[in-house]
Chain A
Amino acid sequence: MSKSRLFTRKLDLRNGAVELVHGAGGKASAQLFEELFRPAFSNPALDAGDDAAQLAGGARLVVATDGHVVSPLFFPGGDIGCLAVHGTVNDVAMGGGVPNHLTAGFILEEGFSLSDLKRIVDSMAEAARMAGVTVVAGDTKVVERGKGDGVFITTTGIGTLHPDLATPPAAHRARPGDCILVSGPIGEHGVTILAAREELPLSAPIRSDTAALHGLVAGLIAAVPGIRTLRDPTRGGLATAINEICRSSGTGALLKEAAMPIRRPVEAACEILGVDPLYLANEGKLIAITAAEDAAIALAAMKRHPLGEEAAIIGEIVSDPDGFVQMETPMGGRRMVDWLVGDPLPRIC
Chain B
Amino acid sequence: MCLALPAEILSIDGETATVDLDGARMPVSLAFLEGVAPGDFVVVHVGYALTRIEPEEARRQLSLMREGTAPGMAEGVTG
Chain A interface (Cβ < 8 Å from any Cβ of B): 200-206, 264-265, 267-269, 271-272, 274
> What are some 9 contacts across the A-B interface (CB < 8 A)?
A201-B27, A202-B26, A203-B25, A204-B23, A204-B24, A265-B22, A268-B24, A269-B24, A271-B21
What's the minimum C-beta distance from A335 to chain B, rounded to whole angstroms?
Answer: 18
Bound complex: CA A306 to CA B72 (Å)? 53
- Chain B: which residue is nearest A271 at the CB level? B5
Residues of B contacting A201 with CB < 8 Å? 26-27
Which of A200, A272, A274 is close to B21, meaning CB atoms less than 8 Å apart? A272
Contact A272 B27 (CB under 8 A): no
Residues of A contacting B26 with CB < 8 Å? 200-203, 272
Chain B interface (Cβ < 8 Å from any Cβ of A): 3, 5, 21-27
Contact B3 A268 (CB under 8 A): no
What's the minimum C-beta distance from B4 to chain A, rounded to whole angstroms?
Answer: 10
Residues of A contacting B23 with CB < 8 Å? 204-205, 264-265, 268
Residues of B contacting A271 with CB < 8 Å? 3, 5, 21
Bound complex: CA A272 to CA B26 (Å)? 10
6 tightest A-B CB contacts, nearest first: A265-B23, A268-B22, A204-B24, A268-B24, A264-B22, A268-B21
Residues of A contacting B24 with CB < 8 Å? 202-204, 206, 265, 268-269, 272
Contact B25 A267 (CB under 8 A): no
Residues of B contacting A202 with CB < 8 Å? 24-26
Query: What would 18 more interface pairs be, CB under 8 Å, given A268-B22, A271-B5, A272-B24?
Result: A201-B27, A202-B24, A202-B26, A203-B24, A203-B26, A204-B24, A204-B25, A205-B23, A206-B24, A265-B22, A265-B23, A268-B21, A268-B23, A269-B24, A271-B21, A272-B21, A272-B26, A274-B3
What's the minimum C-beta distance from A260 to chain B, rounded to whole angstroms?
Answer: 16
What's the minimum C-beta distance from A265 to chain B, rounded to whole angstroms?
Answer: 3
What's the minimum C-beta distance from A183 to chain B, rounded to whole angstroms?
Answer: 22
Bound complex: CA A269 to CA B24 (Å)? 6
- Chain A: which residue is nearest B25 at the CB level? A203
Residues of B contacting A206 with CB < 8 Å? 24
The CB with the most chain A CB atoms within 10 A, among B5, B22, B25, is that of B22
What's the minimum C-beta distance from B57 to chain A, rounded to whole angstroms?
Answer: 22
Bound complex: CA A201 to CA B47 (Å)? 10
What's the minimum C-beta distance from B41 to chain A, rounded to whole angstroms?
Answer: 14
Residues of B contacting A267 with CB < 8 Å? 22
- Chain B: which residue is nearest A195 at the CB level? B24
- Chain B: which residue is nearest A274 at the CB level? B3
- Chain A: which residue is nearest B21 at the CB level? A268
What's the minimum C-beta distance from B43 to chain A, rounded to whole angstroms?
Answer: 13
Bound complex: CA A271 to CA B26 (Å)? 13
Bound complex: CA A181 to CA B74 (Å)? 45
- Chain A: which residue is nearest B22 at the CB level? A268
Residues of A contacting B25 with CB < 8 Å? 202-204
What's the minimum C-beta distance from A96 to chain B, rounded to whole angstroms?
Answer: 37
Bound complex: CA A265 to CA B25 (Å)? 10
- Chain B: which residue is nearest A204 at the CB level? B24
The CB with the most chain B CB atoms within 10 A, among A206, A271, A274, is that of A271
Residues of B contacting A265 with CB < 8 Å? 22-24
- Chain B: which residue is nearest A273 at the CB level? B24
Bound complex: CA A251 to CA B40 (Å)? 49
Residues of A contacting B22 with CB < 8 Å? 264-265, 267-268
What's the minimum C-beta distance from B23 to chain A, rounded to whole angstroms?
Answer: 3
What's the minimum C-beta distance from B72 to chain A, rounded to whole angstroms?
Answer: 24
- Chain B: which residue is nearest A265 at the CB level? B23
- Chain A: which residue is nearest B5 at the CB level? A271
Bound complex: CA A268 to CA B22 (Å)? 6
- Chain A: which residue is nearest B3 at the CB level? A274
What's the minimum C-beta distance from A54 to chain B, rounded to whole angstroms?
Answer: 51
